[in-house]
Structure 1
Amino acid sequence: MTAPKVKLGAVRLGIGNAFARMPFRFGVVTMDAAASLTLELEMTVDGKHSVGYASDLLAYKWFDKRPEKTPADNVADLLWVVHLAASIAKDLPADTPFELWKQLDVAVDRAALAGGFNRLGASFGVSMIERAMIDGVGKALGLSFRAMLTNDALGLRPVDIFPQLDGMSLEDAIPSRPLTRLNLRHTIGMVDPLTAADPFEPVNDGLPETLEDYLREDGIRYLKIKLGGDLSTDIERLQAIAGVLAGGDYRIAATLDGNEQYKHLDDFAALMEAIRSRPALASLFAATLFVEQPLERSVALASPLDAKALDAIGLPLLIDEADGWTSAYREAINLGYHGVSHKNCKGVIRSLLNAMLATHHSHLAGRPGAYFQSAEDLTCLPAVSLQADLAVVAVLGIGHVERNGHHYFRGLEHLSVAEAEAALAIHPDLYERKDGRVQLAIHDGTLRVGSLEAPGLGSSVTPNLKDRISPANWSFEMLNRTNHA
C-alpha cells in the first residue's frame, strides 16, 4: 500500500500520580512515586479523523542527571519538551508518518539544545508524538504495528538516514511474525532485598518482594543486575546474588547495568577483572550476556574504546543513555560498542533503524547477532506505555525484556478501575485478576503478548484523560505521600 498522508493536530495531556509499593533506585536517585504522563493526539489519516495515545513516566534523574537540576526541574523539563514537540508537530504539513518523524526529530533536537535541555530529553518529546501518531495511524487503517510495517504504512525510508542500508529491507532485520511470548528480565536494584533475611521493611501485600520470591514464585530466568560504581561494594553484592542463585540451583542468564558510573573504561575493567578472578562468581560471569552503559554519557562516545580494557571486560558493551540521537548507535559501533537498548521513550522508528544497523554490521562481521539490540525499560507501567513497548519488542524479535513496573508498583492500581478492568478484558493473556486486583500475568518467567497484535500500537484500552490532572493543575508536591493522603 502507499503510505497515508497524515496531518497532526491538537494534543491533550493528563498526569496520573503513581505511588510505589517499595522504594526503587532509578538512575542516581531513590524514589517512591512518579508522574505518569498520557498524551492524546488528534490527526487525520488520508483525511479520516483518528486519535492516538502515548504514555510514559516523567522519569527524573535519568534523562538529565546534572546535579544542579532537582527532580522537580527534571519533570518540568520533560513536560516542556513534550509541549515543544506538540507545537512543532501541529505546524508540520501533511506527510507520511516517516517524513513527519524525520522533520520532528531534527526540529525538536535543535530547539531542545537551544533551550538548555539535552538530546536524550529531546528524544523523549519526539517519541511521545511519534508513538501517538503510529497508534492513531494503525487505528485509522485497522492495522497492528507489525501489519503497518508489512504494508509500509509508515512510509519508512531508512536509506534517507543511513545510506549504508541501501539495498536492505526492514524485513531482513525483524522476524516475519511478532513474538507471542517474551521472557521477563527482572532487575535487581541496588537497594532491592535479595532474601527475607535482608534488612528491609516488608510490604506484605501478597506480591513477591525479594529476589528469592521472584525466582521461586514467578520462575524468572533472566536477571539484570545494577552496579553502583564502587568495586568492593559491587563485588560483595554480586557474591550475595550468586549465593542466592547457587542456593536454589537457579539457572539464569544475566546482564549487568553500569548505570553511567564510570568516567574511565579502565576503572570498569578493574571491576570485571575482579569478578573474573573470584571462583564464587564464575557461574554468574559465564551466564552474563552483555554490559549496559558503564561509561557516563559525556565520555561514552568521545573516543574509541580501549582494546585492552575490552579484553579485560570480556563481554560486549551496549549504549543506553548515550543513545540520545538518531545516529548515536552507528557512531557507537564505530567506537567498539556492539549493542544498543530499545526503549520506546527514545523512539520507535529509531529502534527500527537500529535493528537494521545491527543486522547490517553483523553481516559485515560475518557473525549473526554480533551486533544487537536489547529491550530495557525499568518501570514501564500499564496500560498504554507497557503495551506499546512490548508490542515493539515483540516485533523486533527481542526474546527477553527488562520489566520491573510490576515489582515497584502494585498491579494496575495507578489506573482507574474502569481502565484496569478494560485492560484485563481486552488483554486477558497479559493481565490476570489475583487477590482482588488486576495485575501483570507472569507464567514461568514469561509474558504472553499475543493480544497486542491489534490495530494501533499495542493497546486497545482508551485512557480517560478526565481521570488525570492537566499539567497546568499538577505540581511535583503531589508526589509526596503525605500530600497524597
Structure 2
Amino acid sequence: MRALVDVEGVGEAWGGTAEMMMPKWFDKNPSRSPAETVDGLRRSLRSARDAYRAEDRLDSAFGHHAAAYGAQVKACRAAGLPDLTAAYGPALIDKAVLDGLLRALGTDFFTGMAANVAGLDARLTPDLAGFDLDGFLGGLRPLGAVAIRHTVGLLDDPEDLRGLLERERLSRFKIKLGGDVAADVERLKAIARVLDTAAEGYRATLDGNEQYPDAAALAGLMEAMERDPALAVFRQHLLYVEQPIARERALGEPLGCLAKRVPLIIDESDDGYDAFPRAREVGYRGVSSKSCKGLYKALLNRARCAAWGAPHFISAEDLTCQAGLAVQQDTALVALLGIGHAERNGHQYGNGFDGAPEAEDFLKAHPGFYTGEGGTVRLATAGGSLPTATLAVPGFASAAQPAWDRLSPLKEPESFREFAP
C-alpha cells in the first residue's frame, strides 16, 4: 500500500506499508473458501480507499481515519463482510498515511507519536473522554528491544524445541491449543518437559484460537492443568490465554470464576472500538495489538489500560508479519506501547525476504534487525529479541523501501462492483 500525503505548509511525501492477506482469519465463515476470504480483504482495501478519498479536505491523519471509519464498516456489512475484515483496509491506509506524514515532517515514529502528530483523539472511544491522550502519548517510553515470543503450532514436534533452544536464546513462547482438553493437556505436558529443562526463566502464553465452545469447557482445561503435577511449573509461568472461545460467543456470557484463574484476552473478538470495553464487562482483562487490526485502535486500547489501571493489559500478537515494512512497523508499534515481548512468527512460516531484490537494502539499513547468514536475509532471531533503535528513522520505522516498480497491482476483487459502496 502506498499513499501520497500532502502536508499543509510542508509539502508532499510518499508513505508505504505492507501486510499479509491471511485467509480464514479475519473471516472464518465456514461457507467461504480461503480464496473467498482473501477476496474479502481486497474488497475491504478497495472500499477503504474510496471512503478515504470521498472528501477532499484537510484533516489530521487520525481525523481522516475517523471520518472514513463509519462509512467503511457500513459498506463492508452491506457486502456481507465481518467488521474484522472491514478494519483491514483502513489499517493499511492508516500506516501508509502515517509513514508519509512522518517523512514529510522529517521525523521518526517514536518522536512523532510522542508529539501526537497524527492528531489522535477520543471521538471513536467516548469512554476515554476527558483522558489526556496528548499527555499519555508524550509519556510513553519506547522499549529498546522487543523479545521474540516463539510460536509452537499444533503440528510442531515439542522435542524440536530442544534443538531450537540450543541455537537461539528464546524465553517467551506462544502455544496453540486444539480445543480437546485431554489432547491439549498431553501436548502441554510434552512441551513443558522441554521448557522446564531447556528454557530457564521462560514465560508462556496459550492461544485458544477460538477452539473452545464456552467458558465451562475452558474451565475444564484449567482444572486439568491445575491437577496435573507435570504442569505445575508451566502453570506458574503461564501469562495469559488468548481468545479461547469463538468470536460469536466470546462476549456473550460472563467468564465468572474462570477470570480469576488465568488472565484472558480477546483477539479475533477485537473487531471494533467498543470491543475491549465490552470484553472487560464480562471478565476479560486484556486485548491484543495487531497492526492489521489498526494501529490507532491499538494505541487507544493501550490508553484504556492506563485509564483503567491494573489488571488490564495489552499484548502483542502476530498475523505472520513478513520481513520488511510489515514486521518493522509492527515491532515499532509494540515498542511504543511498552510491550516487552511479541509473537513474531513471520520468520517461522516464511523464508525471510526469500530472494526479493530489496533484501540487501533492508539488511544494510537496519543492522541487528536482520541477518544475511545462510544466504537469505531474514530476522535476526538468534539473540531472542529485536532491537528497536534501528527503527527510529524518518518515516514509519523503515529506512529502506520495497521495489515498488516490480510489484504487481492488487487483483480486482471478484464481483466487486456488485458490492461497491
| TM-score, normalized by the shorter chain, greater than 0.5 | yes
Is 1:321–2:285 an aligned residue pair? no
Query: 2:385 matched to which residue of 1?
Result: 446
Which residue, 289, 313, 316 being the options, matches 2:239? 289
Which residue, 309, 334, 338 being the options, matches 1:393? 334
Write the deviation string for residues 357-413 of structure 1: whole angstroms up to 9, x where unpaired.
011111xxxx4xx10000000411110100110111111110000011111222221
Check the 8 A contact 2:241/2:264 in 1, yes or no.
yes
SS of aligned partner of 2:307 = helix
Check the 8 A contact 1:429/1:450 in 2, yes or no.
no
Query: 1:81 matched to which residue of 2?
Result: 44
1:175, 1:234 → 2: CA distance?
41
2:300, 2:392 → 1: CA distance?
21
Which residue, 136, 154, 159 being the options, matches 1:190? 154
- 5 Å-filtered alignment, 1:39-438, equals 39-46=1-8, 48-92=11-55, 93-158=57-122, 161-172=125-136, 176-195=140-159, 210-248=160-198, 250-305=200-255, 307-311=256-260, 314-362=261-309, 367=310, 370-413=311-354, 416-417=356-357, 419-438=358-377
* Structure-2 change in CA distance of 1:41 and 1:471 (3 Å): same
Alpha-carbon deviation of 1:249?
A: 5.6
Counterpart amino acid of 2:341? H
Write the deviation string for residues 317-372 of structure 1: whole angstroms up to 9, x where unpaired.
1000000011211221122111000000001111111011011111xxxx4xx100
2:147, 2:279 → 1: CA distance?
27
2:203, 2:338 → 1: CA distance?
18
Counterpart amino acid of 1:282? A
1:291, 1:165 → 2: CA distance?
30
* TM-score using structure 2 length: 0.93
Counterpart amino acid of 2:161? L
Higher mean C-alpha displacement, 286-295 vs 403-412: 403-412
1:278, 1:425 → 2: CA distance?
49
2:33, 2:335 → 1: CA distance?
36
Query: 1:460 matched to which residue of 2?
Result: 399
Higher mean C-alpha displacement, 149-158 vs 447-456: 149-158
Counterpart amino acid of 1:429? G
Write the deviation string for residues 93-112 of structure 1: whole angstroms up to 9, x where unpaired.
22111111111221111111
2:198, 2:331 → 1: CA distance?
30
Alpha-carbon deviation of 1:457?
A: 1.4
1:333, 1:293 → 2: CA distance?
13
2:199, 2:399 → 1: CA distance?
40
Greater strand percent: which structure?
1
2:139, 2:245 → 1: CA distance?
32
Counterpart amino acid of 1:141? L
1:376, 1:49 → 2: CA distance?
33
2:281, 2:221 → 1: CA distance?
25
Check the 8 A contact 1:144/1:455 in 2, yes or no.
yes
Counterpart amino acid of 2:306? T
2:145, 2:120 → 1: CA distance?
27
Alpha-carbon deviation of 1:244?
A: 1.3
* Structure-2 change in CA distance of 1:249 and 1:153 (3 Å): closer
SS of aligned partner of 1:435 = helix
Write the deviation string for residues 47-95 of structure 1: whole angstroms up to 9, x where unpaired.
6221111111100010011111101101111011101101111122221
- Give 5+ residue unaligned stretches, structure 2: 415-421
Check the 8 A contact 1:170/1:356 in 2, yes or no.
no
* Structure-2 change in CA distance of 1:359 and 1:174 (3 Å): farther
Q: What root-mean-square deviation, in Å, do the aligned CA atoms of Structure 1 and Structure 2 show?
A: 1.8
Sequence identity (%): 36
Higher mean C-alpha displacement, 217-226 vs 103-112: 103-112
Check the 8 A contact 1:303/1:335 in 2, yes or no.
yes
Check the 8 A contact 1:433/1:439 in 2, yes or no.
yes
Check the 8 A contact 1:165/1:356 in 2, yes or no.
no
Counterpart amino acid of 1:421? E
1:160, 1:378 → 2: CA distance?
25
2:170, 2:71 → 1: CA distance?
42
1:372, 1:150 → 2: CA distance?
20
1:249, 1:55 → 2: CA distance?
33
* Structure-2 change in CA distance of 1:473 and 1:317 (3 Å): closer
Counterpart amino acid of 2:173? L
1:389, 1:310 → 2: CA distance?
29
Alpha-carbon deviation of 1:125?
A: 1.0
Alpha-carbon deviation of 1:215?
A: 1.9
SS of aligned partner of 1:472 = coil
Check the 8 A contact 2:322/2:352 in 1, yes or no.
no
* Structure-2 change in CA distance of 1:459 and 1:278 (3 Å): same
Alpha-carbon deviation of 1:435?
A: 2.1
Query: 2:417 matched to which residue of 1?
Result: none
* Structure-2 change in CA distance of 1:82 and 1:249 (3 Å): closer
Alpha-carbon deviation of 1:160?
A: 5.7
SS of aligned partner of 2:327 = helix
How many residue pairs align between the two structures?
A: 412
Check the 8 A contact 2:177/2:206 in 1, yes or no.
yes
